[in-house]
Amino acid sequence: MTQEPNREMERRMTDKPEQPERGRRSFMKKIWLILGFVALAEFLCFIISLLRPSKETHKSIPAESLRVIGNVEEFPAGSVTPDRVNRLYIVREKDGAFLALSLTCPHLGCSVLWNEESQQFDCPCHSSAFDRRGIVLSSPAPRPLDYLPVIIEEGKVKVDMTGVTRRKRFEPSQLTYAL
């Protein structure tokens, strides 16, 4: 007779803590679930930002320093086109890449001329010569023709006039491809 109340008491003592424990576990489950959703959403946003074509690539270039030189189709593959107003040449590689070269000779500042026949730039002042990528073929020019960054936007070839860059050699990173 006395054992029954004892058992009942034992049961209560062991049962009581289970209620809050179960509640805590379910609360933690909910927290993990929410954190999981947040992490998944952030991951998806990251993937989307990688896949989306960036319109802000050239955001740092002020619009007033970008000069529209022409439409992409105006520059056939393999061509070299002078732009005397902006004092530059637009070189289009056979694979379609663009390169903008300064028209100013790095020796003493004369204007170089493109020679279609010999496929090189000649300086009329002291006979320096440069290949179609502006690399020195004959001195006294101390370095290649300077290059300017080309940007292709909405089918237009634009040049960053503030980006005139001295260089020691040609590097593929100087080329811009139309998408």
Helical (H) or strand (E) element with 47: helix 18-51
- Binding-site member from 28, 33, 44, 108 for ligand FES (CB under 6 A): 108
Q: How far apart are CA 139 and CA 155, in angstroms?
A: 37
Under the binding rule (CB under 6 A), the answer on residue 99 touching ligand FES is no
Interface residue with ligand FES among 123, 150, 151, 159 (CB under 6 A) is 123
Stretch that binds ligand FES, among 77-85, 94-102, 121-129, 142-150 (CB under 6 A): 121-129
Query: Exposed, middle or buried, 124 (CB in 10 Å: 0-12/13-18/19+)?
Result: exposed
C-alpha to C-alpha distance for 91 and 2, rounded to whole angstroms? 104
Using the rule CB under 6 A, which residue among 126, 138, 166, 171 binds ligand FES? Answer: 126
Candidate list 92, 101, 107, 159; residue touching ligand FES; CB under 6 A:
107
Tell the residue number behind the tokens 């890449």, with chain if given: 97
Per CB under 6 A, the list member of 141, 148, 151, 175 interacting with ligand FES is: 141
Closest CB to ligand FES among residues 120, 176: 120
Phi, psi of 13 (to 5 degrees): -65, -40
In angstroms, rounded to a whole number, what is the distance separating the alpha carbons of residues 178 and 42?
Answer: 32
80: which residues sit within 8 A by CB, 6+ positions away? 89, 90, 91, 92, 114, 116, 132
Decide whether 92 or 107 has the Cβ nearer to ligand FES: 107
Of 128, 148, 158, 160, which lies in the binding site for ligand FES, with binding defined by CB under 6 A? 128
Q: Which residues bind ligand FES (CB under 6 A)?
A: 105, 107-108, 110, 123, 125-126, 128, 140-141
